[in-house]
């Protein structure tokens, strides 16, 4: 395989893993709380900026900043669940509107404080990897590797840990889970916190490879919604496969057709899938 081919694969893996990290948080919240948190993209953006604030402005070690940012955003996620979303479990429209309000607040705040010029996080790992015809930045390589690793850990956590099992139970059948003594609010809070932490990690990595802008959340939100809906409401594992598909499409298609055509094709596919099979590729019947 050519060096360029390998680069494409690594890029696709990197993008996919980042999308899936963000989408997992979104899917967890959707399946456990029954809401579409449109603000998830904005949280990804805020997470990246928080890392920037710690790492660049305060000069803390970049990896440490990442951990601190993720922790801080996780706590923030707990706060959001408790005060913004708790009354709206399962209420699609009101929760959508609340998340819109949150997007406005987040984007405006970031824009006013840091939006005056485009910023970028320094690479987490500097330099270029050059070997056997492959030439790619270490940062992209590392991000892809860490992304895949995190996803592996996340999958293990959800499948094996007690809280993870509880999450799956609530996602499948919240009433049944409650009857079994699972405290839904606690599960939801942790899901939200976890989602925020994952989004922060993705936002920081992406903010290093690309740029940080107050509106970068919008683009990823679109991808994430496509991904989650395509994989299906009700499926957390299916997000992985959907993410690979979309990540691959996003890195390969633009090489052959214009971005707008790629976008249109992607949307047409998602619409077609939804019309034929509303519950997505892997989801279960809802509502």
Q: Which residues contact 240 (CB under 8 A, 6 or more apart)?
A: 20, 151, 155
Contacting positions for other proteins (CB under 8 A)? 36, 38, 87, 92-94, 96-98, 100-102, 104-105, 107-108, 112, 218, 222, 225-226, 229, 233, 258, 260-261, 263-264, 267-268, 270-271, 274-275, 278, 286-287
Q: How far apart are CB 16 and other proteins at their closest, in Å?
A: 20
Cβ-based nearer residue to other proteins, 2 or 260: 260
Q: What are phi and psi of 143, to 5 degrees?
A: -60, -45
For the stretch 204-241, what's the b/e string if a residue is b when 16 or more beta carbons lie within 10 angstroms of its beta carbon?
A: bbbbbbeebbbebbeebbebbbbbbbbbbbbbbebbbb
Q: Which is nearer to other proteins, 62 or 230 (CB)?
A: 230
Residue (25 or 280) nearer to other proteins, CB = 280
Residue (85 or 124) nearer to other proteins, CB: 85
Contacts of 154 (CB under 8 A, 6+ apart): 21, 24, 198
Structure token digits, residue 217: 């959340």
Identity of the residue, 237 or 278, whose beta carbon is nearer to other proteins in the bound complex:
278
Strand partners, 119: 212
Q: CA 279, 283, 285, 287 torsion: positive or negative? A: negative
What does the block give as tokens for 97?
């509107």
Question: What CA–CA distance (Å, rounded) separates 74 from 256?
Answer: 39
Q: Yes or no: say if 138 and 126 are a contact pair by the CB < 8 Å rule.
A: yes
- Shorter beta-carbon distance to other proteins: residue 201 or 233: 233
The distance of closest approach from Cβ of residue 113 to other proteins in the complex, given in angstroms and rounded to an integer, is 11
Closest separation between CB of residue 79 and other proteins, Å? 14
Q: How far is the CB of 95 from other proteins (least distance, A)?
A: 9
How near is the Cβ of 241 to other proteins at its closest, in Å?
19
What's the min distance (Å) between Cβ of 161 and other proteins?
A: 29
């Amino acid at each position: 395989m050519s060096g360029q081919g390998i680069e494409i694969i690594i890029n696709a893996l990197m993008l996919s893993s980042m999308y899936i990290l963000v989408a997992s948080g979104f899917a967890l919240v959707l399946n456990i709380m029954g809401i579409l948190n449109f603000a998830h993209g904005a949280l990804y953006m805020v997470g990246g900026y928080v890392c920037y604030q710690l790492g660049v402005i305060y000069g803390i070690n970049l990896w440490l900043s990442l951990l601190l940012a993720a922790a801080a955003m996780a706590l923030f996620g707990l706060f959001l669940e408790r005060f913004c979303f708790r009354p709206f479990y399962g209420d699609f429209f009101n929760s959508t509107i609340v998340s819109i309000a949150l997007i406005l607040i987040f984007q405006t705040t970031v824009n006013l404080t840091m939006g005056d010029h485009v910023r970028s996080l320094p690479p987490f790992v500097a330099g270029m990897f050059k070997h056997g015809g492959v030439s790619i930045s270490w940062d992209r390589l590392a991000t892809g590797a860490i992304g895949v690793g995190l996803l592996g850990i996340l999958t293990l956590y959800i499948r094996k840990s007690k809280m993870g099992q509880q999450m799956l139970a609530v996602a499948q059948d919240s009433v049944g889970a409650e009857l079994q003594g699972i405290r839904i609010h606690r599960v939801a809070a942790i899901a939200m916190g976890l989602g925020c932490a994952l989004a922060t990690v993705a936002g920081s990595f992406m903010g290093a490879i690309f740029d940080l802008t107050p509106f970068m959340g919008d683009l990823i939100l679109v991808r994430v919604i496509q991904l989650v809906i395509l994989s299906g409401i009700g499926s957390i594992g299916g997000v992985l496969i959907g993410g690979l598909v979309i990540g691959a499409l996003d890195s390969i298609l633009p090489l052959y057709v214009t971005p707008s055509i790629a976008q249109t094709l992607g949307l047409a596919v998602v619409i077609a899938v939804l019309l034929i099979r509303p519950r997505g590729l892997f989801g279960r019947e809802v509502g």
